[in-house]
Structure 1
Amino acid sequence: MHPRQPLSVVMIAKNESALLADALISVSWADEIVVLDAGSSDNTPEIARQHGAKVFTAGPWQGYGKQRQQAQQHASHEMILMIDADERVTPELRAAIEQALMQPQPDVIYSIARRNLFLGRFMRHSGWYPDRVLRLYPRAWRYNDNQVHESLETAGARVVPLQGDLLHLTCRDFSTFQRKQLAYAEAWAQQRHQQGKSCSIYSVFSHTTGAFLKTLLLRAGFLDGKQGWLLAMVNAQYTFNKYAALWALNQANQRK
């Protein structure tokens, strides 16, 4: 039997003092915790140090993908668990991770199911569960360069699902959640515009309508009750903001 592989938990954070402690407690069993701070104005770095994390300061912001790449470079061990301050590792997930570390496989990336909180309810439908994300992996892999909606590059890897859930406190405060969604939409539009992408006014409304129907009907959001209907509206609004912002950028470029 192989000895247990040591694990580096890696996090990126900015002004997460309200959430960070519980996230760090949920991974206190790891061999190393690395927190890359993006210039917090609160006591995020101090909280991280109090819980035994190694704290580093990020360079200029270049997007979430590059931020995760930079954070991973500070990890000491071969196995990486990437989580965020608003996520918590459950005991069941910890047991599954520990088991995976006892059987090291350099070509395997592990997917983890997230349970996403939306306005007081952990969603079971609406496309928000099991919401599998690739978060446990050998350090030979890394995140792509996307400014938002970054993902792990998996070429040549075998993906294995783990048991247990990662709790994700996605939407605790609606106004804060909306502001974050708007920032994501703007970053998405800027990135697509820089890539030479464009869209028509028809695309703005067709994508918006499609997002609402996909969440509510195809992903059975109506089974999540009132939160399911609200989330369908939120997803439609987010989609509208993305494509409307891209359309507006293209229009401004044409006028120039």
Structure 2
Amino acid sequence: MTPQPSPVKISGLIITFNEEKNIREVIECLDFVDEIIIVDSYSTDNTVAIANTYPKVKVIQNKFVDFTSQRNLALDLAKYNWVLFLDADERITPPLKAEIIAELQKPETKDAYYFVRKFFFAGKAIHFSGTQTDKNFRLFKKDKAHYIPEKLVHETLKVDGTVGILENKLLHYSYDNYAIYKKKMISYGVLKGKELFQKGKRYNFFTHYLKTIFKFIKAFFIRLGILDGKNGLIISYLQALSVHHTYKSLKFNQKQNI
């Protein structure tokens, strides 16, 4: 069945690097928007070739510096004021799609909307481990919001306006396996350490290891990762590993600039 487009024009935005396994599905769940802009960090797989087979898609390649820069570039390229920004591993369900269209048909809308995300790891739903309150801005007016430049990872959208939250969940198929997840969490930690250094933070041995240990305790026990079984243990460990690499990165950047 052909989706009914929203009467409000929407730009769909995605940032990518080597997402050939995800790119078709994420593009196809944006079939109700009016244009799709992909900012690609010079993928070495078939991401760009696949994306270019869709007539509604425009791909711009830009060297990766940090996630925030890529996202703000995508915002600059969007033709329409309403933007729907997805990660390549996120999926809009039919109920969520209907809710988005219905929301934008209202006489009065908010300026930005949180989406609550349902996290999957290795194909299995995760119910705890800190994911139970996971939500992000995904639908917003670009003249009312921008990503804060100082945040190099875990990008933060600053909204100058009203905020709402949608009821239906966005599916987040974050990682297929341990190796991919580990690599990603380490890379997040490295960028976060650089961010802390740029903010003037100084390395402290005790802070490094206390925060690393507490991150595991928080995810596995306080945030009930233990109820997610083996996957909860993996997620909690890798969250702690990311904190460990954050402080390793902070220490490295500090030494490089003495």
Report the TM-score, using the length of structure 2 for normalisation.
0.90
Distance 1:33 1:252 in 2: 40
Q: Which letter maps to 1:208?
A: T
User: Which residue of structure 2 lines up, in the alignment, with residue 62 of structure 1?
Assistant: 65
Cα contact 1:10–1:83 (8 A) shared by 2: yes
Q: Does 1:159 align with 2:163?
A: yes
Cα contact 1:81–1:136 (8 A) shared by 2: yes
User: Which residue of structure 1 lines up, in the alignment, with residue 19 of structure 2?
Assistant: 16
- Where 1:177 maps in the other structure, the secondary structure is helix
User: Which residue of structure 2 lines up, in the alignment, with residue 101 of structure 1?
Assistant: 104
Q: Which letter maps to 1:147?
A: L
Moved more, 115-124 or 85-94: 115-124
Distance 2:221 2:171 in 1: 25
Report the TM-score, using the length of structure 1 for normalisation.
0.91
Matches within 5 A, 1:56-95: 56-95=59-98
User: Which residue of structure 2 lines up, in the alignment, with residue 123 of structure 1?
Assistant: 126
Q: Does 1:174 align with 2:181?
A: no
Distance 2:73 2:253 in 1: 30
Q: Which letter maps to 1:8?
A: S
Moved more, 131-140 or 121-130: 121-130
| CA offsets 1:104-162 (integer angstroms, 9 cap, x no match) | 646521000111112332111111124110110011112121221112112x3222110
User: Which residue of structure 2 lines up, in the alignment, with residue 43 of structure 1?
Assistant: 46
- Where 1:116 maps in the other structure, the secondary structure is strand
Cα contact 2:40–2:62 (8 A) shared by 1: no
| Deviation of 1:73 (Å) | 1.6
Distance 1:129 1:236, change over 3 A: same
Distance 1:53 1:129, change over 3 A: farther
Q: Which letter maps to 1:102?
A: Q
Matches within 5 A, 1:206-221: 206-221=210-225
| Deviation of 1:95 (Å) | 1.2
- Where 1:142 maps in the other structure, the secondary structure is strand
User: Which residue of structure 1 lines up, in the alignment, with residue 152 of structure 2?
Assistant: 147
Q: Which letter maps to 2:254?
A: N
| CA offsets 1:190-215 (integer angstroms, 9 cap, x no match) | 22223321131000111011101111
User: Which residue of structure 1 lines up, in the alignment, with residue 3 of structure 2?
Assistant: none
| Deviation of 1:99 (Å) | 1.1
Distance 1:53 1:142 in 2: 24
Distance 2:35 2:253 in 1: 43
Equivalent residue in structure 1 for 2:29, among 26, 29, 32 = 26
Q: Which letter maps to 1:148?
A: V
Report the RMSD for the aligned CA atoms in angstroms.
1.8
Cα contact 2:190–2:245 (8 A) shared by 1: yes
| CA offsets 1:223-244 (integer angstroms, 9 cap, x no match) | 2122112211111111111123
Distance 1:137 1:105 in 2: 14
Equivalent residue in structure 2 for 1:134, among 129, 137, 162 = 137
Distance 1:74 1:249, change over 3 A: closer
Q: Taking every aligned residue pair, what percent have the same amino acid on both sides?
A: 27
- Where 1:197 maps in the other structure, the secondary structure is coil
| Deviation of 1:94 (Å) | 0.6
Distance 2:211 2:246 in 1: 10
